[in-house]
Amino acid sequence: MPVVSIAREGNVAVVTIDNPPVNALSQAVRQGLLDAVTALDADPAVVAVVLQCAGRTFVAGADVSEFGKPPQEPHLPDVVSAIENTARPWIAAIHGSALGGGFELALACRFRLALADASVGLPEVTLGIVPGAGGTVRTIRLAGVEAAVDLVTTGKPVRAGRALELGLIDEVVDADLLEAAVALAKDLPNRTLPEPLPQRPAPVADDAFWTDAEARITKRARGEIAPLRALACLRRATESDFVTAMTFERATFLELRAGPQASALRHVFFAERAAPKPAALSGVPALPLRTAAVIGGGTMGAGIAAALRDAGLPVILIERDEAAVARGIANLSDIFAGAVKRGRLTDAAAEARIAGVAGSTDYAALADVDLVIEAVFEDLAVKRDVFAKLGRICRTDAILATNTSYLDPREIAEGLANPARFIGLHFFSPANVMKLLEIVPTPETGDATLASAFALARMLGKIPVRSGICEGFIGNRILKRYRAEAEALVRQGHAIASIDAAMRHYGFAMGPFEAQDLGGLDIAFLQREGARAAGRNVPETLGDTLVRAGRKGQKSGGGWYDYNVGDRRPLPSDEVARLLCLDPATAVEADLGSIADRLVGAMADEGATILSEGIAEKSSDIDLVEIHGYGFPRWRGGPMFQAASDH
């Protein structure tokens, strides 16, 4: 079966792209489209052409797997231009997503029809590139400057309804898409054809608009270059003629495509798609997950419950007494109220989310749930007690999960009847927002349980990473090493503020010390103290010294830094210098890049050990943990990717 085929509906030709899974524009598809243009232009019986796709979506874009290789002819801009200049008008019939090169293809058509649940967009910046086949130059002519800047520099797709409002498509179709497109094609002789986009004038914007947009995007991008380069393409589209703007866009695309940020972002793109499919699980069916329960309504428990509700699962929230149940429900209400405030949920949707939560103090309510996630205090005896109750009450096929971040899941599961259904599900706070889910099976966890954990991640829109059992699993183990290395730098005379600045400059939102001040130094301190009390040899950290002096972070008025009341800006602290015997006057001079390299190198080194121990299955999983759980800049690809690129 050819990837591009032509059929007839009377005097209308229907061109179908069939290149599973997402109709990406491989060389064969580009050639097939060009051949179709030539063949149909030569056929006097054809009055118009409908372009549609087989399978689950319209064209999802250029074939990302071709990006690492030399470009092969025909190039997409030539295909797009051939369709735009054809003797017959083409109509795009969009279902699923028309993204990147797929949307550029649709922009070459005279009309664009889309199903109501379809979306269109230019996500190129998320791959470290800009549109390379006229996306910026044509979109700005249809949607205007502001909307085009928003679409192209964020890369976020829009639904058909919004696309219609923006002028990106011509019609939203509720009925049969192909039928509607063919009907429009047949009706074309009665309509005035819209002018092809190259002949339309580009809108303009003043200098102030561009300066303001540049400032906004620079702040948001934190070192990522593609959004700014996309902005430059859009500006050029308003200031030059069509052909000059196209040449500028193409040159930018080719330059970025060959660069390190695009390479890193492609690595992440494929890593994210590989993570949910561990080889060992292929073919193992997941158990149905229709109802869930969360034990513990604190910050973590409420966040997990919110994530489950967002995925549409009814949730039972168990707490030890009525007051705690009420606090748990209040925590959940706060989460949904926050989503309403940020415009992510309507009032009605937030109410429905809460209505689907049943608070209870009685474990008997869990007799028929499919999944229970425990998120109580990090104490082995408390957790074991919870699972003993769950083991007695829940169905034998219910999945029982612990959200522990530091305890050994094998010890938590000890004594549980049918341990095959037990698993660790390590969420990151806030659990309804953070994308990472570490999935931690014990040696006794059954394949069906593991497969269900991956299925749950998909339902919740999380990035699942399987982790073996060790202290801190993958993420917190690397975090510990990262913090230790940052402390080593302080001991060697580097200024605390320089280390934080280096990591911000690298692309993190915060440096290691600012992050500890925000989250609180006491949690890790208590954990170390617990280990010391259990007789383990845990060396005293600088953070311990600060906590012992009452400096627990922002919540106690200061940690690694001082803070003025009501102000989160970190101020260098004389008290910290005194407590840690630091002399700011003799601080080591080092460039920010070498500080960051050393800290990222330590993360990669720990990652390599984790990999060699079999705790992580693949190096790209470690990168995903850092990106989705710890704020590692996505456009740097993760510590393992960085280490591999350095050699």
The dihedral built from the CA positions of residue 578, 581, 585 and 591, taken in this order, carries a sign that is: negative
Shortest distance, position 300 Cβ to ligand 3H9, whole Å: 28
Residue 549's Cα: distance from chain center in Å? 39
Residue 123: name the closest of 111, 134, 131, 115 by CA: 131
| 48 vs 275 by CB, closer to ligand 3H9 | 275
Dist. CA 635–CA 625, nearest whole Å: 14
Buried b (16+ CB within 10 A) or exposed e, 57-76: bbbbbbbbeebeeeeeeebb
Nearer to ligand 3H9, 153 or 476 (CB): 153
CB of 349 to ligand 3H9, least distance (A): 23
Among residues 89 and 131, whose Cβ is nearest to ligand 3H9?
A: 131
Question: Tokens 């005896």, residue?
Answer: 381
- Choose between 115 and 503: whose C-beta lies nearer to ligand 3H9: 115
- Cβ proximity to ligand 3H9: between 3 and 376 the closer is 3
Q: Which two tokens stand for residue 386?
A: 């919870």
Rounded to a whole number of angstroms, the minimum distance from the CB of residue 94 to ligand 3H9 is 12
* Three-class secondary structure assignment of 474-539: HHHHHHHHHHHHHHHHHHCCCCHHHHHHHHHHHCCCCCHHHHHHHHCCHHHHHHHHHHHHCCCCCC
Tell me which residues are annotated as active site: 104, 124
Task: For the CB of residue 279, give the shortest distance to ligand 3H9 in the complex, in Å.
Answer: 12
Which positions touch ligand 3H9 (CB under 6 A)? Answer: 21-22, 24, 57, 60-65, 76, 97, 99-101, 104, 123-124, 127, 131-133, 135, 273
Within 8 A by CB and 6+ apart from 173, the residues are 113, 114, 115, 116, 180, 181
Report whether 277 contacts 458 (CB < 8 A).
no
- For residues 120 and 604, which CB has a smaller minimum distance to ligand 3H9 in the complex? 120
From the CB of 508, what's the least distance to ligand 3H9, in Å? Answer: 25
Q: Which is nearer to ligand 3H9, 97 or 442 (CB)?
A: 97
Residue type, position 144, single letter: G
Pick the closer one to ligand 3H9 by CB: 22 or 624.
22
Q: Which is nearer to ligand 3H9, 264 or 394 (CB)?
A: 264
Q: What is the nearest approach in angstroms of ligand 3H9 to the Cβ of residue 101?
A: 3
What is the torsional sign of CA 541, 545, 548, 554?
A: negative
Strand order in the sheet with 171-173: 4-9, 12-17, 48-53, 90-94, 111-115, 171-173
526's tokens: 């208590």
Burial of 333 (0-12, 13-18, 19+ CB in 10 A): middle
Please, which residues have CB within 8 angstroms of residue 199's CB and are 6 or more apart in sequence?
none
Distance between alpha carbon 54 and the CA centroid of its chain, in Å? 27
What is the closest distance, in whole angstroms, from the C-beta atom of residue 183 to ligand 3H9 in the complex?
27
Question: CB of residue 251 vs ligand 3H9: minimum separation in angstroms?
Answer: 12
Distance CA 80, CA 253 (A): 16
Closest distance of CB 75 from ligand 3H9, Å: 7
Q: Which residues contact 639 (CB under 8 A, 6 or more apart)?
A: 478, 600, 603, 604, 607, 622, 623, 626, 632
